[in-house]
Amino acid sequence: MQQMTTNAADARGIPKCPTGIQGLDEITNGGLPKGRATLICGGAGSGKTLLATSFLINGAERFGEPGVLVTFEENGDEIASDVASLGFDLPGLADEGKLFVDYVRIERSEIEETGEYDLEGLFVRLDHAIRSTGAKRIALDTIESLFSGLSNANILRAELRRLFRWLKDKGITAVITAERGEGTLTRQGLEEYVSDAVILLDHRVTEQVSTRRLRVVKYRGSHHGTNEYPFLIDRHGLSVLPVTSLGLTHRASMERLPSGVRELDDMLGGQGYFRGSTVLVSGTAGTGKTSLAAHFTDAACRRGERVLYFLFEESPLQLVRNMRSIGIDLQPWVDNGLLHFLADRPSRAGLESHLALMFQSVRDFKPSVTVVDALTNLLTVGTPNDVRAMLMRVIDYLKVNEVTGFFSSLTPGKYESEETEAGVSSLMDTWIVLTIQEVQRQRRREIRVLKSRGMAHSNRVHEFQLTDHGLRLLSEPGPDIRATGGG
Amino acid sequence: MQQTFPAQAPPDPESFVLRLYVAGQTPKCMRAFSNLKRICEQYLTNRYQIEMIDLLGNPALARGDQILAVPTLVRRMPEPVKKIIGDLSNTQRVLVGLDLSIDAV
């Protein structure tokens, strides 16, 4: 009910101004509050300037809204070269009259203060810039610099208060950036003046891996996502991930996909996995996780479906070679374009980069099956909680697009520990565990289905072998004791 | 909109070229102008030129001299350029800002 009223308010009131930044408009239900000011705070290098500039450039290029960029720290040339690497043409937009860049430089050592003054000069400049471009958007980056340039904080505060009211009266959508303070959102307490919306950016480096996060701290009169969302700065600019506040509303397909191993299909209610479901295969090293993935991949490609295969441990060539030894040849599928490998060292980038890559490649390649081999490799670049949060987003995205997700997970040590996977297994619809037992100095491979939601599945542990015709169960799973998986 | 005092060009190369930026005829701005004239008459007799610029009529000029605060006095000559903001009510601070000490005068 609460939800409905806020959404209704969104539809009725609070007009939004789209940022054009991928993901940000989704979590803010359409963008920043139109005609109001939004405060963007964060530490040095957290991406404030880029967010502010992207907001203006997208406005000018895509939404027909000219903008004014008032920069207090970098001059116009510096900003232009910063964003040129992201494909933005700032001087071009300025020439077309769609963007006005005003560099406000204030050097305390050059200025003597005596007696009363106000900031009418700044108002005149802003007014002139807004009028000459017909601006609908403005960004002030970073207005707090005034505090280091001018000594009379009382005048400054009064003038800033007047400035923000003036901008509101003009009905211009403003973005104000500010440095994060100790224990406060901004160093100068600007959140007191700009209170319609506040977005916090964060850049953490944990164990040499950097993670950027964005959070909407406040959004007056609007429903918004409250999580910390990872965001990414790459050659396409800034994007906030995920594109999901989807919840559990995706369709549940009744269609079944063969696993590629007939006996395993038998164990899974006779038909295999559900389309659009998620499958976790866990086991210690060398238990056959990748073989099972290869079977499923091969089966999908034989049906003419596309498979996207993320590989963190070995090269595609190596994997193709190894799978030939169990009679699976994936090369033809690579050649005809049905199978696409993405091999990457997990440590090359932070979690959010991997997440972004996954989103982008699933979006571009449009696979019907996505394999992640192995999920646990990502634990080297993030804490279990981070990985779990990331995985949840990947799974949401896959499910909404009805992509079946196949994840392998390496269980550390010699013996299986069900606890290790407990964190991620709850996100999975089907969980298959592979083990190796030593029985009478013989290694004995075993497979069992720990859970499989929505289907009657085998409850028994089955012995299997990796033969040159692939993975084969030694006993017919046949009519054994079955359990119906609930969740 | 732009007024220059005194009207004629300064003959002395050592003379001060000053620009006072204001925004409308506010009490603060008028006070700054009269303070400035008084100080110049006293310490820079025949060695100064004041140009007054009203930004309300010439908004584009604010950018060139990096004007934020009003009133702002800019010492354009002699170089380097110096700025003094405020109504110039403290003569001592104005002299310091202009690099003029009383004993040098």
B85 touches chain A (CB under 8 A): yes
**Residues A347-362: what's their mean pLDDT?**
80
Nearest 5 degrees, angle CA A109-CA A115-CA A120? 80
Residue owning tokens 């075993």: A446
SS3 A432: strand
Distance of alpha carbon A210 from alpha carbon A205, whole angstroms: 4
Please check whether the domain covering A256-478 is classified as CATH 3.40.50.300.
yes
How far apart, in whole angstroms, are the C-alpha atoms of residue A447 and residue A462?
5
Q: What's the CA gap between A59 and A354, in Å, rounded?
A: 29
Q: Where are the domains of chain B?
A: 2-104
User: Which of A124, A148, A152 is the best substitution to test chain B (most B C-beta atoms within 10 A)?
Assistant: A124
What confidence tens digit (pLDDT) does each residue in A379-408 have? 877 777 778 878 888 888 888 889 999 999
Pairwise CB contact (< 8 Å): B94 & A102: no
Are residues B71 and A117, on separate chains, in Cβ contact within 8 Å?
yes
Beta bridge partners of A443: A438
- Only one residue has tokens 């090359």, namely A348
| Displacement of CA A145 from its chain's centroid (Å) | 32
Q: CA neighbours within 13 Å on the CB side: how many for A484?
A: 2
Determine whether the interchain pair B70/A150 forms a contact, defined as Cβ–Cβ distance below 8 Å.
no
Q: How much of chain B exceeds pLDDT 90, in percent?
A: 52
What's the pLDDT score for residue B17? 92
Mean pLDDT of A362-388: 86
Stretch A462-467: mean pLDDT: 92
Claim: this prediction has a pTM higher than 0.80? no
Is B1 within 8 Å of chain A by CB? no
Task: Name the more confident of A400 and A103.
Answer: A103
The correct answer on CATH 3.40.50.300 for the domain covering A2-240 is yes
Mean pLDDT score of chain A, rounded to an integer?
85
For A185, counting Cβ atoms within 10 Å of its Cβ (0-12 exposed, 13-18 middle, 19+ buried), the class is buried
In tens, the pLDDT along A398-450 reads: 888 899 999 998 887 655 455 555 577 878 899 999 999 888 888 899 999 98
Distance of CA A348 to the CA centre of its chain: 17
Q: How far is B83 from chain A (nearest CA, A)?
A: 5
Q: Of residues A227 and B48, which shows the higher confidence score?
A: B48
Q: With beta carbons less than 8 A apart as the criterion, state whether A307 and A459 touch.
A: no
Q: Is A117 on the interface with B (CB under 8 A)?
A: yes
B62 with B21: CB under 8 angstroms? Answer: yes
Whether pLDDT at A186 is above 70: yes
Among residues of chain A, what percentage have pLDDT more than 70?
89
Residue B24 pLDDT more than 70? yes
Q: Which of B21, B82, B88 sits opposite A114 (nearest CB)?
A: B88
Q: Which CATH architecture has domain B2-104?
A: 3-Layer(aba) Sandwich (3.40)
B3 close contact with A: CB closer than 8 A? no
Give the residue range(s) of CATH 3.40.50.300 domains in chain A.
Answer: 2-240, 256-478
pLDDT exceeds cutoff 50 at A2: no
Distance from CA of B8 to the nearest CA of A (A): 28
**Which has the closest alpha carbon to A320: A288, A305, A298, A352?**
A298
The complex's ipTM works out to 0.88
Residue of A nearest to B23 (CA): A120
CB-CB neighbours of A437 under 10 Å: 13
| pLDDT single digits (tens) A277-320 | 999 999 988 899 999 999 999 999 999 999 999 999 889 999 99
